[in-house]
Structure 1
Amino acid sequence: MKTKPTKLNRFIEEMEMEEENDDTNNNGSKFGGMWESILRNHHHSLKSLFHRNKPDLDAVDDSVNSPKPIPQLSPIANSVVSRCCRILGASTDELQHAFDSELPLGVKELLTYARNLLEFCSFKALHKLTRTSDYLRDSEFRRLTFDVMLAWEAPSVHTDQLITTETPRFRKDETAVDEDDASLFYSSSTNMAVQVDDKKTVGFEAFSRIAPVCIVIADIITVHNLFDALTSSSGRRLHFLVYDKYLRSLDKVIRNSKHVLASSVGNLQLAEEEIVLDVDGTIPTQPVLQHIGIAAWPGRLTLTNYALYFESLGVGVYEKAVRYDLGTDMKQVIKPDLTGPLGARLFDKAVMYKSTSVAEPVYFEFPEFKANLRRDYWLDISLEILRAHVLVRKFGLKDTQKSEILARANLGVFRYRALKEAFKFFSSNYKTLLAFNLAETLPRGDMIMQTLSNSLTNLIAVSGKRDIPASVDTKKQPAVSPAAVVALFCLGFKSKKAVDIYEETTVIGDIRVGEINPLEVAVKQSLMDTGKAEAAQATVDQVKVEGIDTNVAVMKELLFPVIESANRLQLLASWKYFYRSTAFLLLGCYVIIRGWIQYLLPSIFVFIAIIMLWHRHFRKGGSLEAFTVTPPPNRNAVEQLLTLQEAITQFESCIQAGNIVLLKVRALLLAILPQATEKVALFLFFIAVVLAFVPPKYIILVIFVECYTREMPCRKESSKRWIRRVREWWIKIPAAPVELVKPEESKKRK
């Protein structure tokens, strides 16, 4: 995009006036050189030509201070690349040459060259910036990452449609850096004419590609849910103000965690690698109650990446903390539960912890007047740590691999806290930001965890990949690094193992230039299945009806073919139409004698399959017509309760009849009535001989003829008489006695 001469002149005059009013003229010669550069290159992006030089960059070559634009890139992409050059201390020619020489030919195709070159430059710059401890607090870093996303959506000069010529003033209250330390692009209203618009937004593809480059900001597994949470009120387009607020909240959460960690090491006696993830119960109006038996006591609850700690509140001080381990295999169970005073189960605001290390379950109650958001939050983050350790044990991960899994869980909790505190966001269903919890709910979530574990088998560890099994061929797998461990170390969470990893490891991020991470593929496949499952569940929710009578009517209509077939068979067996019944009897006997009965069930399946393929061919994905059902007359609440009571009574009667049959069988087995037991025993011997020596088809033939001809005119009376005798004999069988013994009352808990 070309800049109009009039706008350029106004821009130059404005900058000259600002220069005259400046108290210091140390940079005058530099600005003068920049004006000449503007006039020479006004056809290209002006963003790539202006950067305020920091004192430590004074000795850098002019090609770094004023990098020339790359013809293939759009103005916004050139702006991003120029800032990357300033960060890396290299010129655009050097970066472009490194891109052409270091990466394979497949990455440098014509259609993707601009985007891959942008990724190459920005990834290098971001990796360098994230090696410092306060990069989340740097407004220039936050703006750079957002601009990379904008440039990623329009990297080529032919596709750029995002650049405007005027930009609102970058507000001073959005930055934590003084104006002298900030970039020239965002220091005053006299910014360059071509600049990233502060009102521009980012889509999901760009965010999911760039944000996970810095693993502290986003994780590949949960980046889609993070984007949904940040754009829930903006039509799935991310605004910089929302993104900036999220990063500032994330920085605040991490700094608070480091402060709490420093003050809690002595009280909780934490191990070297333990990190405090959150603390609750410190505010008197929001206590945490620990219930054991009927006793309850307020206190402070702390979650680390290895355990839960509860400190009971004594007389103005906290007592010694009780540790509930999450790291070792002790069959831990964490789930929501009910609590109340004196053991009463009244309030659904507690988390239950149970393991082999505690004599009875422990309940942590989070009292609040509205909903149970505090309980749900603590349930989520506690389960995340527990499931991370379960994954470590399941795949046998050790040392650096284990540290990487736990570091990913820690960062997930930090992101969840940041989003909750900044936007009052709480996870539900598939919207969780915790990777290991999400894997438990997503379809193919186990495949996501398997892919993550496989990637860690090729982990670049300390002392020459000592964590890699000998059976793994590292040449066929891309090398990865413990990015999460290094990220926590750079943020200030330091331990001896983290120091060794940091010093010996070259960071290789999850996102690489021009490549798709296998973890991304697994997550996308899972999300596709999730979309199908949610669409199917929506249809299920639509067809649900209320009322017992209505549901029975719907079931009858759905089972109409089966019910109609059974009615026709019953009509034939009633012998009302003699010739039809005789023909069916002869046909059935012929099929049984010929041995075709074994093909009956397969034939039914084949027939159903043919019907399904017939509809598949002629329907061609068309919409299905609604299934019409005539509902029964409406009933009021009292009538529905009476119907429900009647159904429960009938169900109870069926259970009683079944119990009576079982008790009479028990009486026969134990020979309470000797004569009846002898007859049953002889009958069983006869059945055994028949089954042993008579071919099955003849047995089936006899049973078919017996059952089908009971209603024949010549057999009707004798069949009724025989059934009556059997019923009378069954009534004479006594039922085995039953004694109901009440359990002894348990002793009251102390």
Structure 2
Amino acid sequence: MDKENAEPAAKNDSLWNLKSIFSKKTSAAAAENPPNDNPPLPFLAAHTNSVVSRCSKILGISAKELQALFDVELPDNLRQPPSYARNFLEFCSYKALHLATTKPNYLTDKEFCHLTFDMMVAWDDPGVDSNLIDKETASCSNQDVEGEDGWSLFYFNSTKMAFQVVITQMSSVLVLTIKKLMLHMFWKFFIYEFVISYYQHHLCQLCYCKHKVDDKKTVGPEAFARIAPACPIIADVTTVHNLFDVLTSSSGSRLHFLKYDKYLRSLDKVAKSAQNALGPQAIAALSLADDEIIIDVDGTVPTQPVLQHIGMSAWPGRLTLTNHALYFEPGVGLYDKAVKYDLATDMKQVVKPELTGPLGARLFDKAVMYKSTTTAEPVYLEFPEFKGCSRRDYWLDICLEILRAHRFNRKYSLKGNQQSEVLARAILGIFQFHAVREAFRIALSNYKALLCFNLAESLPGGDMIIETLASQIALITPSAGQQEVSVSPNANRQPIFPVAFLTLIRLRIVSPKEGEVNVEATYPAGNLHVGVANPLEAVVKQLEQNTGKAEAAQATVDQVKVEGIDTNVAVMKELLFPVIEIYSRIERLASWNDPYKSLMFVVIFSYLIVRGWSKYLVPSILVFIALVMLWRKYFWRRRQLEACKIVAPPSKNAVEQLLLLQEAISQIESLIQSGNVALLKIRALLFAVAPQATDKLSVVLFAMALGLVFVPVRYVILMGFLEYFTRYMPLRREDTERGMRRLKEWWIRIPAAPVQIVKPDDKKRK
């Protein structure tokens, strides 16, 4: 009985010890983070109150004062009950984020990471009627908002409490097991106390880390789109939805904290590499301008070189992209003088993917081709890799983004801060693209581009994005230093500030010129305004539906593609069956195999032509097709379109497929040759190489011209119709055959105009 009572007592003691450690940690955290004097606002949920409390700490004012500012600065329509809590949360978030982003290295600050993520979580359900799991811990006050290292404690819920209890019970069992094993050892008292204390401490750390990481809170797309662009380095308004899709590609369209934290850490690495790249040695080696920024460098690792192909020669080297040009430095380790390929000035630049290989052979699809008016011949920059072409695609996208940003500046004649803001937006987009590529290794489709100007080129209706962006950039003061401006909420046109350019300045990537921009001025976070959709955001939302339709249509196109020449020909014949059938019926009527049907056809259509009703023929066909489509839409809408059934041709092996392809190419070649011969004979007739044939053709052309001038058009159409459909009737068949024979003989006797093939002068370097 003593043993039976001893074991539960030991379990209770170990459980008490574990709880005591948690209580010590809680008391220590409470000592480090004194309780907040701000009472919770009654119209906000517990998690929203925690966010507002942290925002008030950053701003140095109480939550009540924030609410008073909100009521004063925002118009009445944004302070209505249905959206009051959410708009107030946006108001506090935007003001706090503006100050939080002024601190150095804020991307690696865990408090900043958790604050922005908590803002997104709170945005989904900001009011007291929230349906989130936080209701289970609504009794937690604001002073329990933050734990150690800035981790948010309002994620705690009953599920995690149950998990912690299970872990605690498991710990007691393990403690008893260790105790039994050590009772037989001489040094049991020393090791027992050490092992038990060490184990309990690290088990508590495990529970605490599990509490922090196993977070059931996730963020939706709308919350991410409203909060993330407030920090321009994190997301851009135009591409924020695509960024969210990339970050949530493996989590069911819900953003988890671990993914978000990993993205911010990768983004910080990219930004710091850009800070460190612009050193005195790089400026001297590349002869960079004062406002030139190094965005990315490749080819520094010997196992991943960059090859420059010009003609039949190739050199390895280092490739550098700035906000104005591409620089290629030939060499390995020690580099020669850099060659500049300009992207800023208008020189009819062409940047596109291309095939390349040794000695000019087109074997590998891993190169970017650059061509302009200053290059004698195209330059190919190859990015060798064993699998895929993701490295080439990345450099192609970022080069095109800089090129299109400069074209945008030239098209709308932007200067000063306006031009700097456009380039800064492109640079920040490249940083985000680079961070996603390094952290998640995800291939993007054309419609999921993370670069603003590339997205506008690939997205259906992307010109609307360009026009809206141009109208916004035009509101930025082009030259004078931006002063602190109080934004009037009742203004018809919200002011725009160079927030992307200011972000680069705060990241110490760009050094501002005197009078260019006021770094200390107060700007709206990301040019976002409380309760009001950014015009760019509205345009992107409008285009999302078209994008979805385009992607769905492209998916159906990919499904119906078949392989093999004979199979594709069979599919085409089946799809063109109605047209082929109509043409064959008309041919049978013109051949007069059934004289009665042919006669009725000729009489009816001749009457229509004489009466002048032939002009209604094509409109009637179009109206008939439209009526058939509408009838199928409204009366057959419940019926699904049946798949077109194609009888597959006999299967052929690889050799037979090659022979079939060779035969098809030969037929196409013969058709092209016949067309060229006909064109050369017409050229000979025009230049009177055959005088007799030219005379006859001239008489015929004069007669046709007189007929078109003096004879009404409907009678000309009637004569053409009767000529075509009566030439094989029994009365005219023999004369028609004789006439066709004479026409062929006349055509054969016409010589072809001479042709001389001249070989091009190959001046490529060997």
TM-score (norm. length: structure 2) = 0.83
The AA in structure 1 aligned to 2:496 is V
Secondary structure of the corresponding residue to residue 497 of structure 1: coil
Of 627, 637, 641, 2:654 maps to 637
Of 435, 443, 447, 2:464 maps to 447
**Residues 558/368 of structure 1: CA separation in 2 closer, same or farther (3 Å cut):** closer
**Residues 196/605 of structure 1: CA separation in 2 closer, same or farther (3 Å cut):** same
Report deviation, 1:122: 1.3
What is the aligned partner in structure 2 of residue 557 from structure 1? 574
Is 1:308 matched with 2:289? no
The AA in structure 2 aligned to 1:601 is V
Of 255, 273, 293, 2:291 maps to 273
Of 40, 47, 50, 1:69 maps to 40
Secondary structure of the corresponding residue to residue 382 of structure 1: helix
What is the aligned partner in structure 2 of residue 500 from structure 1? 516
Alignment of 1:94-133 (within 5 A): 94-133=65-104
Report deviation, 1:433: 1.5
Report deviation, 1:185: 8.0
What is the aligned partner in structure 2 of residue 478 from structure 1? 494
- Higher relative contact order by CA 8 Å / sep ≥ 6: 1 or 2? 2
Secondary structure of the corresponding residue to residue 289 of structure 2: coil
What is the aligned partner in structure 1 of residue 404 from structure 2? 387
- Contact 1:352–1:363 (CA under 8 A) maintained in structure 2: yes
- Contact 1:461–1:481 (CA under 8 A) maintained in structure 2: no
Of 300, 320, 325, 2:337 maps to 320
How far apart are the structure 1 equivalents of 2:476 and 2:693? 75
Report deviation, 1:327: 1.1
Alignment of 1:221-300 (within 5 A): 221-263=238-280, 264-300=282-318
Report deviation, 1:228: 1.9
**Residues 728/339 of structure 1: CA separation in 2 closer, same or farther (3 Å cut):** closer
The AA in structure 1 aligned to 2:431 is F
How far apart are the structure 1 equivalents of 2:214 and 2:688? 93
**Residues 19/476 of structure 1: CA separation in 2 closer, same or farther (3 Å cut):** closer
Structure 1 regions of 5+ residues with no counterpart?
1-8, 32-50, 54-61, 168-176, 467-473
- Contact 2:401–2:426 (CA under 8 A) maintained in structure 1: yes
- Contact 2:307–2:382 (CA under 8 A) maintained in structure 1: yes
Is 1:601 matched with 2:582? no
**Residues 632/288 of structure 1: CA separation in 2 closer, same or farther (3 Å cut):** closer
Question: How many residues were matched structurally?
Answer: 686
**Residues 181/747 of structure 1: CA separation in 2 closer, same or farther (3 Å cut):** closer
- Contact 1:164–1:196 (CA under 8 A) maintained in structure 2: no
What is the aligned partner in structure 1 of residue 486 from structure 2? none
**Residues 623/254 of structure 1: CA separation in 2 closer, same or farther (3 Å cut):** same
What is the aligned partner in structure 2 of residue 35 from structure 1? none
Report deviation, 1:410: 0.9
Report deviation, 1:353: 1.8
1:357-412 Cα offsets, whole Å, 9 max, x none, are: 23332222222222222222211111111111111111111111110010011111
Report deviation, 1:165: 6.0
How far apart are the structure 1 equivalents of 2:733 and 2:25? 114
What is the aligned partner in structure 2 of residue 362 from structure 1? 379
Report deviation, 1:237: 1.7
What is the aligned partner in structure 1 of residue 33 from structure 2? 52
Secondary structure of the corresponding residue to residue 111 of structure 1: helix
The AA in structure 1 aligned to 2:421 is E
Range 328-337 or range 283-292, more displaced: 283-292
1:30-75 Cα offsets, whole Å, 9 max, x none, are: 96xxxxxxxxxxxxxxxxxxx825xxxxxxxx9xx32110111111
The AA in structure 1 aligned to 2:432 is R
Is 1:456 matched with 2:473? yes
Of 411, 423, 438, 2:455 maps to 438
Is 1:573 matched with 2:590? yes
What is the aligned partner in structure 2 of residue 351 from structure 1? 368
Secondary structure of the corresponding residue to residue 319 of structure 2: strand
What is the aligned partner in structure 1 of residue 126 from structure 2? 155
Of 49, 59, 76, 1:88 maps to 59
Secondary structure of the corresponding residue to residue 323 of structure 1: strand
- Contact 1:52–1:184 (CA under 8 A) maintained in structure 2: no
**Residues 332/195 of structure 1: CA separation in 2 closer, same or farther (3 Å cut):** closer
How far apart are the structure 1 equivalents of 2:17 and 2:528? 42
**Residues 273/595 of structure 1: CA separation in 2 closer, same or farther (3 Å cut):** same
- Contact 1:383–1:437 (CA under 8 A) maintained in structure 2: yes
Report deviation, 1:529: 0.8
How far apart are the structure 1 equivalents of 2:307 and 2:255? 40
Of 745, 752, 760, 1:728 maps to 745
- Contact 1:384–1:437 (CA under 8 A) maintained in structure 2: yes
Report deviation, 1:164: 7.0
Is 1:689 matched with 2:706? yes
- Contact 1:308–1:324 (CA under 8 A) maintained in structure 2: yes
- Contact 2:482–2:516 (CA under 8 A) maintained in structure 1: no
- Contact 2:480–2:515 (CA under 8 A) maintained in structure 1: no
Of 223, 230, 234, 1:206 maps to 223
1:86-134 Cα offsets, whole Å, 9 max, x none, are: 1111111111111111101111121111111111111111111112222
Report deviation, 1:713: 1.7
The AA in structure 2 aligned to 1:122 is S
Secondary structure of the corresponding residue to residue 348 of structure 1: strand
- Contact 2:48–2:89 (CA under 8 A) maintained in structure 1: yes
1:137-163 Cα offsets, whole Å, 9 max, x none, are: 211000100011111111111123132
Report deviation, 1:325: 1.7
**Residues 13/550 of structure 1: CA separation in 2 closer, same or farther (3 Å cut):** closer
The AA in structure 1 aligned to 2:530 is V
Is 1:657 matched with 2:674? yes
How far apart are the structure 1 equivalents of 2:50 and 2:137? 15
The AA in structure 2 aligned to 1:649 is S
Range 273-282 or range 549-558, more displaced: 549-558
The AA in structure 2 aligned to 1:734 is P
Report deviation, 1:595: 1.1
- Contact 1:76–1:195 (CA under 8 A) maintained in structure 2: no
1:414-447 Cα offsets, whole Å, 9 max, x none, are: 1122222222334343232211112111111111
Report deviation, 1:621: 6.1
Secondary structure of the corresponding residue to residue 279 of structure 2: helix
Report deviation, 1:349: 2.4
- Contact 2:367–2:383 (CA under 8 A) maintained in structure 1: yes
**Residues 633/686 of structure 1: CA separation in 2 closer, same or farther (3 Å cut):** same
Report deviation, 1:11: 13
Report deviation, 1:660: 2.2
Report deviation, 1:136: 1.0
**Residues 185/537 of structure 1: CA separation in 2 closer, same or farther (3 Å cut):** closer
Question: Percentage identity across aligned positions?
Answer: 57
How far apart are the structure 2 equivalents of 1:578 and 1:153? 78
Of 529, 539, 543, 1:522 maps to 539
Secondary structure of the corresponding residue to residue 671 of structure 1: coil
What is the aligned partner in structure 2 of residue 41 from structure 1? none
Structure 2 regions of 5+ residues with no counterpart?
1-15, 139-145, 157-203, 484-489
How far apart are the structure 2 equivalents of 1:183 and 1:440? 41
- Contact 1:307–1:326 (CA under 8 A) maintained in structure 2: yes
The AA in structure 1 aligned to 2:302 is P
TM-score (norm. length: structure 1) = 0.85
The AA in structure 2 aligned to 1:726 is L
**Residues 254/199 of structure 1: CA separation in 2 closer, same or farther (3 Å cut):** same
